[in-house]
Structure 1
Amino acid sequence: MAVFELILCIIAAVVVSSFASRFIPKVSTPLVQIALGVLVAYLPFFPNARLNPELFMVLFIAPLLYLEAHEIDKSALLKTLKLSLSLAIGLAIATMVAVGFVLHTVWPVITLASALALGAALGPTDAVAVSSLGKEASLTQRQRGVLKGESLFNDASGIVGFQFALAAAFTGEFAVGQAAGEFVVSFFGGTIFGLVVAALANWVFETVRSLGWETTTTRILMELFLPFLLYLGAEEFKVSGILAVVAAGLFIRFDRSGVGPNVARTNIVSSSVWGVLSFSLNGAVFILLGMQLPQAMTASWSDPRINNTLLIGIILLVTAVVIVLRFIWVAAMLRIARDVNTGKRRKMTLERWRSAAVMTFGGPKGTITLSLMFTIPYSIAGGADFPMRDELIFIASGVIIMTLLLANFLLPLLAPNRGKDPSAEMVPITIEVLRSTVEELTGRITPENRRAVLMVIDLYTKRISRLKQRNGDSDPQGLERLQIEALHWEKEFVRDRLTQIKAHPAADAATQELNVEACERMLDQIMNTLRHTSTDPTSGHAVSQIRGRVRMLQRRVNNYAKRTISKIRHTTPLVSEDQIFARTRELQVEAIHHVIDRLVDEMGNSTYNTEHCSALLLDYRRAEASLQARPNMSGTAAMITQVEEVKKESYAIELGVIQDMLEAGDISRAQAKTLRRNIYVMQVDADSGI
């Protein structure tokens, strides 16, 4: 039960981090998650539970590496393969050796094998942490390709090196020849196992789809099951499960071809599920890091045998070793690398030194490093506690935080994002497409589909409002002006109705008085509202406002006089207050219908913003419903069906608007492709009922 509660706390913290990161975009999400993990650890209901290290490796490492290998750009990886492999293998081994010997020399209480294990764990970089940084830093496509390729391959090399170093620390023996042989068997065996399983999985997926047996549920379950099967199967054969997962992730295709809503739905759900799983697992690891820090710090700080100043100094020293060694290695590789066109080595210019610094700080430590440190066993052979386990985790955690902080604050200085945000550039284009769609939908309103179309228009209005708020382009004054104008439309409608009533009086005196009284009362309400919404009391409307107040006072005096005379004469008034109230409500509904018609007409013009008209339409529809106040549940299913049909029609309109804008040269093909992709997702949703 304690483990279950621990998992719930972690998931809750990951959810909170996804919201918190939106308010502090200049701070990377991993740093936010670490801070939340520290806070969660101090909560009174935080369970004191431990995750099994082997379970941690299977649960976090396998799916994360598999997804990273599967999602990487294969063409970009091939272009930067040499540099990526140099960093992933050569630099990882150099980091392992340098950190191991430096740490063991400075702090001999840590055995060389344990220090080498820490160095191996600090070899892998976390490209996900870089992508989680705010939009302030701008890396070139080549730099991103090198960092992603390095992160993919050095995960495997670092993990294999860590496992052998940890085995030496666990048993107290380290045979170089035997370790080298085991390394070769584990490396090539894991790679071959992964390729074989990937080929088999490709055949299974294609066969199941071709036979028509595939469903969204079975396909997603097979995809999720595969990385765990790969890792556990490879470990059973005594080969590297990590390399098996990476090899399979690179080779497997997950056939995305095919035509039809079922195929599209499967592809969309697959991407969504893996996206959620990736964010959740990465977030969980950093939350766990934050949770582990207080315990590790408390154990280290409270231990009288450990000098706290020395511990902090070692964190800074190890961080310096990792950063300096990485910078020298990257700069050397850039100097040795030959130009693709000339075939000659290029001198190190200021720009190339800056690129070396970008790739140095662009490789912070994160998920894999912490995951490996958590797999350190609590005891060694013979049952004794693993020496300095908390301190090793604390040092690794400190290095992770230092590299994340350096990446978070130095990368924007080294690679400032001077260009415009592509997503921000798409906002005004998307708004224009949505406005055109709303205008086209307005022209298709009929008495039969009026309510359904207005409901869909309201959905589009909310989308436009959200986009404008995101872009900082909202216009509340424009909506207020339209609201005042709508009140004037109501006033004109009631005045015209009052003029018609007086010009053509009813045969019944009571009916005539009822109609006149209802109109005059409603005029009083409208004029009173307009007087309160006036933003300029010194304007030319002041005289008319005074006249309106006088007329309203005169009508009220006349009404009170009539009722007083009736009471004195003991006669019954021609109309009662209840009748006047009911007739006024009927007149209000008629006035609302008039304003709704005017708003629909205005949506096709350029006088007012389309979203303002749509928003006010919703307000008047709500007012109409509250006035009528008749509970009516009949036709609800039919209305929902009609709304869905209108939504499908609106998607076709959107596609037509995009095509027209593309042909007119208003948008590029890339922008049109992005806009269409979003509509295709909504179409699949409507067709398949995701």
Structure 2
Amino acid sequence: MTELTLVLCIVGAVVVSSFLSRFIPKISTPLVQIVLGAAAAQLPFFPDVTLDPELFMVLFIAPLLYLEARGIDKTTLLKNLKLSLSLAIGLAIATMVAVGYVTHAAWPAVPLAAAFALGAALGPTDAVAVTSLSHEATLSERQRGILKGESLFNDASGIVGFQFSILAAITGTFSIGAAAGEFAVSFFGGTVLGLMFGVFANWLFGLMRSFGWETTTSRILMELFLPFLLYLGAEAIGVSGILTVVAAGLIARYDRSGVGPNVARTNIVSSSVWAVLSFALNGSVFIMLGMMLPDVLGTTWADPTESNTMLLGIIVLVSTVVVVMRFVWVAAMLRIARDQRTGQRRRMTAQRWRSAAIMTFGGPKGTITLSLMFTIPYTIAAGADFPMRDELIFVAAGVIIVTLLLANFLLPLLAPTHLHSTKEMDDITVEVLRQTVEELARRVTPENRRAVLAVIDSYTKRITRLKHHIGSADPQGFEALQIEALQWEKDFLKQRIIDLKNEEPATPAATHQRDLHIEACERMLDQLMTTLRHATAGSRNSQAVSQIRGRFRALQRRVSLLARRIYGKILRTAPLMSEDEIYAAVRGTQLEAIHVVIGKLYEQMHAGTYNTEDCSALILDYQRAEASLRNRPNMERSAETINEVEDVKRDSYAIELGIIQDLFEDGRINRAQMRQLRRNVYVMQVDADSGV
């Protein structure tokens, strides 16, 4: 039961992190999850369970690396294979040696072999962190390929170096020849075994498909089982399980063979399952890293026999050695590497120095480092305690935090995320709208046909208006004008509500009409405030406090409105309002608001506050909306029809936002572009509402 509680707590923390990351976009998701894990570990109901590091490697690292290897661009990897292997092997060994000697010299209490173990554990970069951080910064295709290739291959060199360093620390003896031979067997043996397994898996899946034995269930279960089988099998025969998994993932191609609707459906389901599993495992890795840190840091920090100042100084020193070593190695690698087109070595320009810095901070340490450190034994061969075990784990945890912080705050400065050009962003937006229309068309039934076609028509108009706006010199200015127009509508509705409440109707019928128009204004204002909150959620001027205050006011208005309606129904003080009457009142208020906004836009054109072309384009949009409202017939069952349309619109916005999220997770857009597209959904929502 304790283990089940732990799993549920971890999954819950992953879900919470997915929401928090949207509100604090400047903090990378791995850091958010580490903080959540550390906070969750302090809760009274959180179980105190120690996770076996070897089990951690099997359950989390193996499937994540397998998935990363399957999804990596093989062409880019082959182009940069030499550079990736240079970082994965050469830099890892150099880091082990440098950190070992520097730590031992600065802190003689740490034996040289134990210091080498620390350096070996700090060699591997974190593949999960590299993938997550690539969404926070604009990296070139070559930089992403090198960093991902390094993170796939450097675990073997780090693990082997760590194992031999620990063996030397325990026994007091070390053989360079034996270590080199063991490394060769582990590295090349794991690679060959993985390639053989990959070829066999391709043949097996293809054979099952050709005989018609493959089902969606069997295929997905076999896929999920494969990385665990590969890792455990490789470790059992003494080669690198990590490299076996990576090599098999690189060569596996069974999902790209075969044709037909059944194969396509199986591939789609498989991709969806792996996407969900990848997100859950990624989050769980950093949640558990955060869970481990309080005990690791707290035990050593509270030890009166150790100097906390010394510990912090060693963390800073080791972090500096790791970062400087990586920067020097990457810069030398760039200087020595030949141009792929000319074959000549190039001089180090400012741009190439910046590229070296990007790849330096783009390789943070993470879970594999801490997992290795937890495997340090408690005693040596003579039976004495392993020297400085807790202190070494403390230093490793500190370096992990430092490298993650450097990557989070410096990488976006060196390679800031930027929007594509105006035309590219317009093309992406049109593609999102087109996919939304296609999905809506697939959901048409005889019962909802009328409502769905109305929403599809509004999307078609959005695409048309967007294409008209392509080529605008200042798309940000047009968006700012749209938001300003929404603010004018909001001010108009607030003033209208105040004026209506100040009226003193002479008859019950007049009271009914006043309450009817208040209801219409309140409904429009709620929708408008929601749209404005979402449209400005990612802007520099938006503040979290004002966002929360706006949501509270909206809730307050809705509660007040509900209370008035219940009070009126109980006391029968006024005739009950039908939905048809409210719908007609909303439509009339929309027309009044449109007139107000059009008048304001003409004023802005004369004042020169906004671009004349932008004002003209927005006036045309509002005039189209006005014509649509005036030409809409007063149908019977209009309230029922509009409710059906509202339901379809809510579904369409969910579809649109889901498509944007898929583009982000597929790496086709970065986080800044995702926020821009989400704002577009909510800004354009008002135009769609007016036109439907």
1:403-482 alignment to 2 at 5 Å?
403-420=403-420, 425=426, 428-429=429-430, 433=434, 449=447, 451=448, 453-454=450-451
Partner of 1:251: 251
Q: 1:591-646: per-residue Cα shift (whole Å, max 9, x none)?
A: 689999999xxx9x9325999999x99x9646999xxxxxxxxxxxxx9xxx99xx
Partner of 2:307: 307
Q: What is the aligned counterpart of 1:529 among 500, 516, 535?
A: 516
Conserved 8 A contact 1:26-1:133? no
Quickly say closer, same or farther: Cα 1:385–1:291, change in 2 above 3 A: farther
Q: 1:479-529: per-residue Cα shift (whole Å, max 9, x none)?
A: 989999xxxxxxxxxxxxxxxxxxxxxxxxxxxxxxxxxxx9878734653
Q: Unaligned stretches of 5+ in structure 2? A: 467-478, 495-506, 523-568, 590-620, 656-672, 678-692
Aligned amino acid, residue 194 of structure 1: G
- 3-state DSSP class of the match of 1:285? helix
Quickly say closer, same or farther: Cα 1:40–1:136, change in 2 above 3 A: closer
Aligned amino acid, residue 429 of structure 1: V
Quickly say closer, same or farther: Cα 1:49–1:421, change in 2 above 3 A: farther
Q: 1:559-588: per-residue Cα shift (whole Å, max 9, x none)?
A: xxxxxxxxxxxxxxxxxxx9xx9xx88x95
- 3-state DSSP class of the match of 2:46? coil
1:67-146 alignment to 2 at 5 Å?
67-133=67-133, 137-146=137-146
Conserved 8 A contact 1:137-1:411? yes
Matched, 1:297 2:297: yes
1:97-496 alignment to 2 at 5 Å?
97-133=97-133, 137-381=137-381, 385-420=385-420, 425=426, 428-429=429-430, 433=434, 449=447, 451=448, 453-454=450-451
Aligned amino acid, residue 387 of structure 1: P
Aligned amino acid, residue 89 of structure 2: I
Aligned equivalents of 1:57 and 1:224: distance in 2?
15
Aligned amino acid, residue 454 of structure 1: A
- 3-state DSSP class of the match of 1:303? coil
Aligned equivalents of 1:97 and 1:387: distance in 2?
19
Aligned equivalents of 1:245 and 1:382: distance in 2?
37
Q: 1:198-225: per-residue Cα shift (whole Å, max 9, x none)?
A: 1111111111112222122211111111
Residue 438 of structure 1: how far off its partner (Å): 11
Aligned equivalents of 2:277 and 2:630: distance in 1?
39
Conserved 8 A contact 2:380-2:386? yes
Residue 455 of structure 1: how far off its partner (Å): 6.2
Aligned amino acid, residue 90 of structure 2: G
Aligned equivalents of 1:61 and 1:438: distance in 2?
36
Quickly say closer, same or farther: Cα 1:91–1:589, change in 2 above 3 A: closer
Quickly say closer, same or farther: Cα 1:39–1:360, change in 2 above 3 A: same
Residue 426 of structure 1: how far off its partner (Å): 5.6
Aligned equivalents of 1:595 and 1:48: distance in 2?
60
Conserved 8 A contact 2:437-2:456? no
Aligned equivalents of 1:133 and 1:199: distance in 2?
32
- 3-state DSSP class of the match of 1:606? helix
Aligned amino acid, residue 34 of structure 1: I
Conserved 8 A contact 2:364-2:400? yes
Partner of 2:8: 8
Quickly say closer, same or farther: Cα 1:144–1:108, change in 2 above 3 A: same
Residue 71 of structure 1: how far off its partner (Å): 1.6
- 3-state DSSP class of the match of 2:255? coil
Partner of 2:625: 607
Aligned amino acid, residue 192 of structure 1: V
- 3-state DSSP class of the match of 1:287? helix
Aligned amino acid, residue 50 of structure 2: R
User: Given the two structures, how large is their TM-score scaled by the length of structure 1?
Assistant: 0.68
Conserved 8 A contact 2:516-2:585? no
Quickly say closer, same or farther: Cα 1:428–1:202, change in 2 above 3 A: closer
Quickly say closer, same or farther: Cα 1:303–1:589, change in 2 above 3 A: closer
Aligned equivalents of 1:611 and 1:230: distance in 2?
63
Quickly say closer, same or farther: Cα 1:375–1:268, change in 2 above 3 A: farther
Aligned equivalents of 1:479 and 1:439: distance in 2?
30
Partner of 2:472: none
Partner of 1:562: none
Aligned equivalents of 1:182 and 1:437: distance in 2?
56
Larger deviation: 359-368 or 108-117? Answer: 108-117
Aligned equivalents of 2:631 and 2:159: distance in 1?
60
Highest Rg: 1 or 2? 1
Partner of 2:597: none
Conserved 8 A contact 1:282-1:367? no
Conserved 8 A contact 1:57-1:372? no
- 3-state DSSP class of the match of 1:607? helix
Partner of 1:22: 22
Aligned amino acid, residue 91 of structure 2: L
Residue 176 of structure 1: how far off its partner (Å): 2.3
Residue 376 of structure 1: how far off its partner (Å): 3.0
Partner of 1:514: none
1:511-550 alignment to 2 at 5 Å?
525-526=512-513, 529-530=516-517
Conserved 8 A contact 2:361-2:411? yes
Aligned equivalents of 1:62 and 1:171: distance in 2?
30
Quickly say closer, same or farther: Cα 1:300–1:224, change in 2 above 3 A: same
Conserved 8 A contact 2:21-2:29? yes
Conserved 8 A contact 1:96-1:120? yes
Conserved 8 A contact 2:38-2:290? yes
- 3-state DSSP class of the match of 2:624? coil
Aligned equivalents of 1:609 and 1:398: distance in 2?
64
- 3-state DSSP class of the match of 2:340? coil
Equivalent pairs, count: 549
Quickly say closer, same or farther: Cα 1:261–1:356, change in 2 above 3 A: same
Aligned equivalents of 1:421 and 1:58: distance in 2?
43
Quickly say closer, same or farther: Cα 1:524–1:273, change in 2 above 3 A: same
Q: 1:218-245: per-residue Cα shift (whole Å, max 9, x none)?
A: 1111111111111111122122222211
User: Given the two structures, how large is their TM-score scaled by the length of structure 2?
Assistant: 0.68
Residue 11 of structure 1: how far off its partner (Å): 2.0
Aligned amino acid, residue 606 of structure 1: R
Quickly say closer, same or farther: Cα 1:271–1:171, change in 2 above 3 A: farther
Partner of 2:613: none
Aligned equivalents of 2:155 and 2:46: distance in 1?
31
Aligned amino acid, residue 396 of structure 1: A
Quickly say closer, same or farther: Cα 1:593–1:275, change in 2 above 3 A: closer
Larger deviation: 121-130 or 131-140? Answer: 131-140
Aligned equivalents of 2:282 and 2:61: distance in 1?
10
Aligned equivalents of 1:438 and 1:281: distance in 2?
29
Aligned equivalents of 1:233 and 1:294: distance in 2?
34
Conserved 8 A contact 1:439-1:610? no
Partner of 2:667: none
Aligned equivalents of 1:624 and 1:478: distance in 2?
25
Conserved 8 A contact 1:301-1:308? yes
Aligned equivalents of 1:258 and 1:108: distance in 2?
62
Conserved 8 A contact 1:130-1:363? yes
Q: 1:277-322: per-residue Cα shift (whole Å, max 9, x none)?
A: 2232232222222222221222212222211111101110011001
RMSD of aligned residue pairs (Cα, Å): 5.0
Q: 1:630-685: per-residue Cα shift (whole Å, max 9, x none)?
A: xxxxxxxxx9xxx99xx99xx9xxxxxxxxxxxxxxxxxxx9xxx9xxxxxxxxxx
Aligned equivalents of 2:62 and 2:176: distance in 1?
28
Quickly say closer, same or farther: Cα 1:75–1:381, change in 2 above 3 A: same
Aligned equivalents of 2:628 and 2:129: distance in 1?
41
Q: 1:331-369: per-residue Cα shift (whole Å, max 9, x none)?
A: 111111222333222211112111111111111112322
Conserved 8 A contact 2:289-2:367? no
